[in-house]
Amino acid sequence: MRMGGKGTGGPPRGNGPKRGGRPPASGAPKGKRPSHDARRSARARPRPAEDEVVRTAPTRNPKPHHPAPRAAGPRKPAPRKPPITDAPTRAEVKAVTAEVLATGVQQLVVTQDENEMRIDRFLEARFPQLSFSHIQRIVRKGELRVDGKRADSKDRLTAGQTVRIPPLKLEQAAERPRSAKADADTIGFLRSITLYEDEDVMVLNKPAGLAVQGGSGTTRHVDGMLAALTGKDGQKPRLVHRLDKDTAGCLVIAKSRFAAATLAKTFRSRSARKVYWALVYHVPRVKQGRISTYLAREEAYDGDQRMAVAEHGDDGAMHAVTYYAVVETAAQKLAWLSLKPVTGRTHQLRAHAAHIGHPIVGDPKYFDIQNWEMPGGIQNKLHLLARRIVLPHPRGKGTIDVSAPLPPHMRQSWNLLGFEDAPYDPIVDAPDE
């Protein structure tokens, strides 16, 4: 007889809970099977959420936890994390320290003081915060116009012209504090070497060994010293020509923009007459002469730069003309020359003296005489002096005529050789071309 089958007389399936079976649903009468609705309600109970803790049976034979032995000594505190603040970013700090001034399109009229000024110098004077590369870029792109036409950075302006300036972004440079004592010392030094001065022009007696402009490793120079003479209007005296570092003598300085533009034109047109004195090796056979060559820059064996005689048409070759005259001699060993440069090329007098076989005594670049011994008492320094400068006053107030004395090392040599400073200089009457 089958028991428990459907439709049989055996006990009904599910009568009473089995071991491990599901307990009856809540509310079901004891001893009776839960209804279909009760079983459905039990299955519909919600499962535990993911963030609820579900207890599980521990694993068998768990490994014991043995903490690492702590080092002897006081316990170091854990490093504290910096508090989170609203600190400015690096870009924000830079923006605060260097304020950017944005400008729109500007139409600037060239003043009389800016007449004959080069365009790049004009922009530097009007916008000191503008970098050289920025100037070249706006000129190259044609964004800068003069009277409506494109212009080159080397073009010169005329008073009354209108210069169109494109929008610029200028960084306000932080002003470096100046030392009042240092400025006072610099001004005192410049006054001590001033040969001539008025409201427009200064002529300095530049000492030998003092650079005119800064360069690699050069921190003390005339151009930097002139900043101490900046006026209340912000104008700083300007250089209008150059002298080599080891050349002493007359150096012309413009004290205003108008004077700078006018004097630059004077030097360009060769209206300024310059006379130099030099002590050279041996005595030239021709007592008065003219030296006319082309000069070009060359790389010396030690990496230094110097000028060399070149041929017409060579790369970088420029025509140079110098007149010379012998003033006095010393036993055919040394000669005092008066030199008048018509052109103003770099190292022109030094290269020309070496070219005719009479290099200037003490010249480290061009004196290459073998087995040369300096006469006793003569210092091994460049014996070249910018003796005299004659030029028209920038405002038409006559002529500026200034002479510089011999520097100490040349004075010593003149005394040793018995040379006397003559009031007449034979080179003055030499041609101007």
Contact (Cβ atoms closer than 8 angstroms) between residue 265 and residue 224: no
Tell me whether residue 383 is exposed, middle or buried, using C-beta atoms within 10 angstroms of its C-beta: 0 to 12, 13 to 18, 19 or more.
buried
Catalytic residue among 244, 246, 363, 425: 244
Separation between Cα atoms, residue 111 and residue 161, nearest integer Å: 8
Separation between Cα atoms, residue 402 and residue 195, nearest integer Å: 7
Q: How far apart are the first and last CA of the chain?
A: 148
Separation between Cα atoms, residue 39 and residue 30, nearest integer Å: 15
Structure tokens at 217: 């490793």
Task: List, in sequence order, the alpha helices (H) in 193-269.
Answer: 222-225, 257-268
Separation between Cα atoms, residue 141 and residue 164, nearest integer Å: 13
Tell me whether residue 294 is exposed, middle or buried, using C-beta atoms within 10 angstroms of its C-beta: 0 to 12, 13 to 18, 19 or more.
middle
Contact (Cβ atoms closer than 8 angstroms) between residue 279 and residue 416: no
Q: Is 244 in the active site?
A: yes
CA gyration radius, the chain: 46
Just list the catalytic residues: 244
